[in-house]
Amino acid sequence: MKEFKFKINGAEYKCAVEELAGGKTNVTVNGKVYTVETEAKKAAEKAAAPTPKAAPAPKAEAPKAEAPKAEAPKAAPAAGGVQVKSPLPGSVIKVLVSEGQAVKKGDTLLTLESMKMENAIMAEQDGTVQQIAVSAGQNVMQDDLLIVLG
């Protein structure tokens, strides 16, 4: 179960999310439980259904890699790239670099807001930005891929 706090139009909401079987999720908002059906679960089920017809072994992996967009770049760092991952959940405020840009160790790559605090995500080494996996306004979880440096 994951717990969150949201502030919407000045009102604070305490939420807990618990995944259930069959694409259903229990969402508790300020003590009231709602059972919802998630679109991500529906899409994953639809993508998984035709998979055995096309090619059972290879296609079984393809939907998993497509669902989270950050999964595809994980192959790139094996060829020498270094992954810069989110140290905590939050929201990307601004991306300060562009693909192909040279950066030095300690340069700020992007700003991440978490718990009403802005956090500068810095380059841990000199290199060139190979890939930017996020954009301003995007929410990220801890360990999500942000940038790949080469």
Please give the average per-residue pLDDT across 117-146, as a whole number: 93
| Radius of gyration in angstroms for the set of CA atoms belonging to the chain, rounded to a whole number | 19
Share of the chain above pLDDT 90, in %: 41
Task: Enter the pTM of the model.
Answer: 0.48
Query: Could you tell me the strand order of the sheet in which 11-19 lies?
Result: 2-8, 11-19, 24-29, 32-37
| Residues 112, 134: Cα–Cα separation, whole Å | 11
Structural domains for the chain: 2-66 (no CATH), 70-149 (2.40.50.100)
Q: How confident is the model at residue 42 (pLDDT cuts 50, 70, 90)?
A: low
β-strands 102-103, 127-132: how paired?
A: antiparallel
- Write the Ramachandran bin of 30: left for phi over 0, alpha for psi from -120 to 50, otherwise beta: left
